[in-house]
Amino acid sequence: MFTISVLFIGITNQANAQSTESNLNDPVVIVETELGKILISFFPNDAPNHVQNFINLAQSGFYDGTIFHRIIPGFMIQGGDPNTIDGDPSTWGTGGPDERLDAEFNNIKHNRGIVSMARSADPNSGGSQFFIVHKDSNFLDEQYTVFGRIVTQESFETLDKIASVSTGNRDEPLNPEQVRITKVTVVSQSEIPDLMELSEPERLQTDVLPPTGNQIFESTEYDISFNVPEGWLLQKPEKTYENSPDVVAVGPKIGAVNPVFSLTIYPTDGKNIDDIISDKSEELSEVVESGKIKIISQEKTIINGKDAYVTNAQGMFNSNGQSFDIKFKEVVILILDNYYTFSYSNGVDNFNSQLERFDQTIDSFKKLSEESAIEENGGCLIATATYGSELAPQVQNLRELRDNTILRTESGIAFMSGFNQLYYSFSPAIADLEREFPIFKEIVKLSITPLLSTLSILNYVEINSEQEMISYGVGVILMNIGMYFGAPAIIIYKIRKLN
């Protein structure tokens, strides 16, 4: 059944680098609140501009009188918006200095106590708003700029107190005075007697990748992976009832509401796709008959080779005395013992603006165990031939190219669907032979090297449209036909002519 989660996000921020320079050695910022103090130290080697910006703002009195305007226990507390001093609550989360900071993404993990810069969907839009991680939130890693962490026991106690205050349906504090920042000062670390002995922050072991326009949600718990737009807030909310989403991605608010992508996972309990469609029709019938929702279209289809069911609908919903005209797209995908329900909701006027990105999320969805089984247990001849060799990183780059570029276009999706059906009709048998005969593996690796090289060309071109995808794709196909069939034919012809 359709559910709407209108999550209001206050991550629209600009940035500023004040002219005041800090001459302190190992500076620590003391944030004083009604519930206690929070002391923050910094990572200047990882995010020098963000550190200097935060210290400059603190020294200038910018943060004095602001509140922690967005509080989500188990996730984070967010503050730093000057609109919260005396502005209308509807503007909280949208304020900040005029200038913006370029992202300084690094490999420090978003663990409890980490201080990171809030931003909008634009990676280079950080400003004054910051958040402190209440509980480990590693899905944010490499998507937001970590620039500090809290460093005293009192700081952690204050963090917990702020995270426990009562909040409204927009995650705002019901009593703002409880969480108001009364004063912010900057001192040297040597002036703090009760600093905790903290080790180096935990870091990711992979290199930081340049922005691709997407962020990847990957969960071994759910055995799934998929992409959502870069910069959107990814959450795993508490499962309070059966229809509660397991994963939610919330985009920046442009119109009446925030765009929301959600995923809810249900067990099939032995049902096939027709049984699931029947159950959903029965669930929806009462709401449709009441006039609250209008079904626009419903279609049984195949997505990524799996049984699927797509519903488009529209309805009026009330929140805080306001009515919102909301449009939905729901995609149900059946895989083995579970069915995965992806939903996209947005205001009617802005629905189409994120529809293509939602479709890209659906196209990127995969079961980790299936991909692992294909590649490790006998499926992928390319992966088997190049495993552990100098070509392995090239194959990984091609996977990313497939997920982030080729599968963004209809022609790319159609090609990959047909290619996979043909490829996996013979690939497992060849992969088995590669594992059984090392010499055969080397022959295959040598044979596919020209193919991998030509595909890698796509990493260095701009593909922003269907026409460009078709043009470059056809070019690569013709190049391979020439290498694998044309050139050998010409050589054989020349040899015969010489004889």
> pLDDT for 65-100, tens place per residue?
999 999 999 999 999 999 999 988 989 988 999 888
Question: Given a cut of 50, is residue 307 above it in pLDDT?
Answer: yes
Q: Where are the alpha helices (DSSP H) in 188-296?
A: 273-289
* CA–CA dist 315, 420 (Å, integer): 39
Q: What is the pLDDT of residue 416?
A: 74
CA torsion through residues 163, 166, 171, 176, sign: negative
pLDDT at 495: 74
- Cα dist. 86→150, 155, 331 in Å? 27, 26, 43
Q: What is the pLDDT of residue 204?
A: 86
Torsion angle of C-alpha atoms 422, 424, 428, 434, degrees rounded to 10: 70
Per-residue confidence (pLDDT) for residue 123, from 0 to 100: 83
Q: Where are the alpha helices (DSSP H) in 239-296?
A: 273-289
| pLDDT for 2 | 35
Contact indicator for 44, 54 with CB cutoff of 8 Å = no
Convert the pLDDT of each residue in 396-429 to its tens digit: 667 667 766 676 677 777 777 777 777 767 777 7
> Quick one: what percent of the chain has pLDDT higher than 70?
86
Please give the angle made by the CA atoms of 342, 347 and 349, to the nearest 5 degrees: 125
CA distance 267 to 383: 32
Would the pLDDT of 346 be above 90? yes
Residue scoring higher pLDDT (356 or 487) = 356
Looking at residue 16, its pLDDT comes to 31
| 27-191 matches 214-366 in fold | no
pLDDT at 15: 29
State the average pLDDT over residues 155-168: 95
**Residue 367 or 425, more confident:** 367
pLDDT band at 391 (very low <50, low <70, confident <90, very high): confident
Q: Tell me the pLDDT band of 369, cut-offs 50, 70 and 90.
A: low
Q: Does domain 27-191 have CATH number 3.40.50.10240?
A: no
Q: Is the pLDDT of residue 324 over 90?
A: no
Tell me the domain boundaries of the chain: 27-191, 214-366, 378-492
Tell me the mean pLDDT in the region 138-164: 94
Closest CA to 95 of 78, 76, 115: 78
Question: How confident is the model over 260-293, as pLDDT tens digits?
Answer: 999 999 998 888 999 999 988 888 888 888 888 8
Fold topology of 214-366: Protein Transport Mog1p; Chain A (3.40.1000)
Predicted pLDDT at 6:
31
Count of other CB atoms within 10 angstroms of residue 180: 20
pLDDT at site 406: 74
pLDDT at 257: 83
Mean pLDDT score of the chain, rounded to an integer?
A: 83
Worst-scoring range by mean pLDDT, 60-64, 202-206, 339-343? 202-206
pLDDT at 379: 57
Query: Tens digit of pLDDT for each residue in 185-239?
Result: 999 998 999 999 888 999 987 544 455 567 888 888 888 899 998 778 888 887 7
Question: Residue 173 in contact with residue 167, Cβ under 8 Å?
Answer: yes
Q: What is the pLDDT of residue 371?
A: 53
Angle 42-45-51 (CA atoms, 0-180°, nearest 5)?
40
pLDDT at position 467 is 78
- Per residue in 449-476, pLDDT (tens digit) is 888 777 777 767 777 777 777 887 788 8
Q: What's this model's pTM, rounded to 2 decimal places?
A: 0.46
Confidence of residue 19 (pLDDT cuts 50, 70, 90): very low
The arrangement of strands across the sheet holding 224-229 comes to 214-219, 224-229, 366-367
